[in-house]
A and B are shown apart, each in its own frame.
Chain A
Amino acid sequence: MSEIPIVLRGAAEVFARRDEQDISVAQFCADIEAVAAALPQARHIINLCQDRYRFTVTFFAALVRRQTNLLPAKRDIAAARNLAGQYEACSIVTDEDTPGVDHRVDFVPGTHGQATSPACLADQVAGIAFTSGSTGAPVPHPKTWQMLCDWRAVHQRYLPGPPTATRAVISTVPSWHMYGLEWAMLLPTVAPLTLYCGPDFFPRDVVAALSGFNSATVLVSTPVHLRALSRVPAPTRPVETVISATAPLDTILTRHIETHLTSRVFEIYGCSEAGSLAWRSTGTNKHWQFFDCFDVRLTDGEISVGHPLLRDKVKLADRFTEISPGAYVLEGRSSDIIKVAGKRESLTNLNAILTNIVGVEDGVIFLPEAPGPLRTTRLAAFAVAPELSTHDIKAALAEHIDPVFLPRPIRLLSALPRDKTSKIRQDTLTQLMREFDG
């Protein structure tokens, strides 16, 4: 059975920087071996490590032990325990002193000597990503080690900038999200990138990290974080490459980021089912190009993507037009699917939950126009509910839907402006919201 090494880089190259300490590839591999030896007996692992370096080491350590990493979006201990109950021999591990976990990953990085890269079975399921299904139960999307290795080779080819130059990668995206896992965890196992493993959430920390490397930097981020970064003082050094995903960037924000960070912005399009699929150089070209490893079929605006390693073709939630061979324009989401903070949800589902609340006679949840290019858009709702307050409605919704999809604001009306077919046009909702905001 074929095996593929975890790291395909020189032993002395720098893999990560953490606490101002550089950790070589050989030290990283020794850390993986040491953590693997200490992991509990299990078939599945839920890795709740907070520290980016410890998460990375533990992910690969599980592979060495032929265990599968479960990558749930909900990372609290109750949700993890619930998921663990659905998978055979599943252990929850973390690097913090959290009650209710099965094992604590506790080590000082870079202190286990040096080792050559371990190799893992190609057809082993390395990780399982989850999307929220229409019934609310998470839908699993397994990834074999072979898939992750094929993907990382493709991403290395498409990574903008000089392929052999040593660069640092700073990510505001957690590694347990497929986009972060691909671009800020797997990519440094093949490309000459030093993975920054320090605080990376608050703009101040990201700016400090970007300013702290002598080499060129690559920032792996999202529109939400880029908006925040564009509103605080810039790093002291140019950011060579910005990669963004999870939602499309608009032209104004892209230009602002490119000027503010002295950078070039590239966008990745993907989905949990298949991972990263397409890219564009946002500042110069609004057309998306699918990675050449995928078989892309366009029928009536709907794209399905095939690959020998994907069991089924993946139908995309967005509509595209092919304007010249291989160049696609994203026309927008299939009208039912909305996306907030990287998570997709069906408006039909959300509206059903709203109108099923006792006391809500009619209601609609929708995505309003953005409050401005530098602000994050949330869902909004109109409801007809004479006996309820907006607080009551929000509390009832919160019992059923992910917090990122909770509408704010919720406005109460005496009737909804439905047309003859009982639909409500988006522009009517937008106009009504403007009137409310006065």
Chain B
Amino acid sequence: MAQSPQQQEIAKLIVDILNIDDVDPADIEPDAIMFDETGLGLDSIDALEIAVAIAEQYDVHISAEDEASKEIFATLGNLTAHVMQESGTLQTSS
């Protein structure tokens, strides 16, 4: 599945912030699970880093009280959709 421009932007943010430079942002499947050993292998510290980066960049503050916060972090697609919904201002990287 091809990434949308917004998903490309969030994928680049994740790769930059987490220093996982053996991963090409374009290779992150929008619906692949990010936080397990077969996917990107991210852990809870990464979740914290991503949450802070998204707060800084988009002023979207993720909370455990958001409906299904675990789902938000599950995939690139879910995370992008949440940021778009909450910010309404996600710019495309074009």
Residues of A at under 8 Å CB distance from B? 199, 201-205, 208, 224-225, 228, 231-232, 341, 371, 375-376, 378, 389-391, 394, 398, 403-404, 406, 408-410
Instruction: Say if the beta carbon of B26 comes within 8 Å of chain A.
Output: no
B 50-70 binary contact with A (CB < 8 Å = 1; else 0): 011001100001111100010
A sample of 8 cross-chain residue pairs with beta-carbon separation below 8 angstroms, ordered by A number, consists of A202-B61, A202-B64, A203-B51, A203-B55, A204-B51, A204-B62, A232-B55, A390-B22
Inter-subunit contact A232/B61 (CB<8 Å): yes
A231 to B55, CA, bound (A): 9
A366 to B92, CA, bound (A): 37
Measured between beta carbons, the chain B residues less than 8 angstroms from A228 are 48-49, 51-52
Inter-subunit contact A205/B63 (CB<8 Å): yes
Residue of B at shortest CB range from A199? B64
Inter-subunit contact B45/A224 (CB<8 Å): yes
Residue of B at shortest CB range from A375? B49
- Min CB–CB distance A430 → chain B (angstroms): 15
**4 tightest A-B CB contacts, nearest first:** A199-B64, A204-B61, A390-B22, A204-B63
Inter-subunit contact A199/B65 (CB<8 Å): yes
Inter-subunit contact A403/B41 (CB<8 Å): yes
Inter-subunit contact A389/B22 (CB<8 Å): yes
Instruction: Say if the beta carbon of B32 comes within 8 Å of chain A.
Output: no
Given contacts A224-B45, A231-B55, A403-B41, contact A409 B64 (CB under 8 A): no
Residue of B at shortest CB range from A412? B22
Instruction: Say if the beta carbon of B44 comes within 8 Å of chain A.
Output: yes
Instruction: Say if the beta carbon of B89 comes within 8 Å of chain A.
Output: no
Residue of B at shortest CB range from A340? B45
Given contacts A201-B64, A205-B63, A389-B22, contact A231 B52 (CB under 8 A): yes
- Min CB–CB distance A130 → chain B (angstroms): 18
B 1-28 binary contact with A (CB < 8 Å = 1; else 0): 0000000000000000011111000000
Given A341-B43, A394-B41, 10 more A-B residue pairs with CB atoms under 8 Å apart are A202-B62, A204-B55, A231-B52, A376-B45, A378-B19, A389-B22, A408-B18, A408-B19, A409-B19, A409-B21
Measured between beta carbons, the chain B residues less than 8 angstroms from A208 are 63
Inter-subunit contact B69/A202 (CB<8 Å): yes
A204 to B48, CA, bound (A): 11
- Min CB–CB distance B73 → chain A (angstroms): 10
Inter-subunit contact B43/A403 (CB<8 Å): yes
Measured between beta carbons, the chain B residues less than 8 angstroms from A376 are 45, 49
- Min CB–CB distance B1 → chain A (angstroms): 21
Inter-subunit contact B48/A225 (CB<8 Å): yes
Measured between beta carbons, the chain A residues less than 8 angstroms from B51 are 202-204, 228
- Min CB–CB distance A411 → chain B (angstroms): 9
Given contacts A202-B64, A403-B43, contact A224 B19 (CB under 8 A): no
A85 to B62, CA, bound (A): 38
Measured between beta carbons, the chain A residues less than 8 angstroms from B61 are 202-204, 232
Measured between beta carbons, the chain A residues less than 8 angstroms from B20 are 408-409
- Min CB–CB distance A63 → chain B (angstroms): 28
Measured between beta carbons, the chain B residues less than 8 angstroms from A398 are 37, 41
Measured between beta carbons, the chain A residues less than 8 angstroms from B56 are 231-232
Inter-subunit contact A404/B64 (CB<8 Å): no
- Min CB–CB distance B14 → chain A (angstroms): 12
A114 to B43, CA, bound (A): 40
Measured between beta carbons, the chain B residues less than 8 angstroms from A199 are 63-65
Measured between beta carbons, the chain A residues less than 8 angstroms from B45 are 224, 341, 376, 404
- Min CB–CB distance B36 → chain A (angstroms): 10
- Min CB–CB distance A100 → chain B (angstroms): 17
Measured between beta carbons, the chain A residues less than 8 angstroms from B43 are 341, 403-404
Given contacts A202-B64, A404-B45, contact A409 B52 (CB under 8 A): no
Measured between beta carbons, the chain A residues less than 8 angstroms from B69 are 202
Measured between beta carbons, the chain B residues less than 8 angstroms from A404 are 43, 45
Inter-subunit contact B52/A232 (CB<8 Å): yes
A406 to B23, CA, bound (A): 14
Among B18, B19, B21, B37, residue most surrounded by chain A Cβ atoms (within 10 Å): B19
A231 to B19, CA, bound (A): 19
Measured between beta carbons, the chain B residues less than 8 angstroms from A403 are 37, 41, 43
Within 8 A of A (CB), among B30-50: 37, 41, 43-45, 47-49
A391 to B43, CA, bound (A): 17
Measured between beta carbons, the chain B residues less than 8 angstroms from A409 are 19-22
- Min CB–CB distance B44 → chain A (angstroms): 7
Inter-subunit contact B48/A201 (CB<8 Å): yes
A409 to B16, CA, bound (A): 11
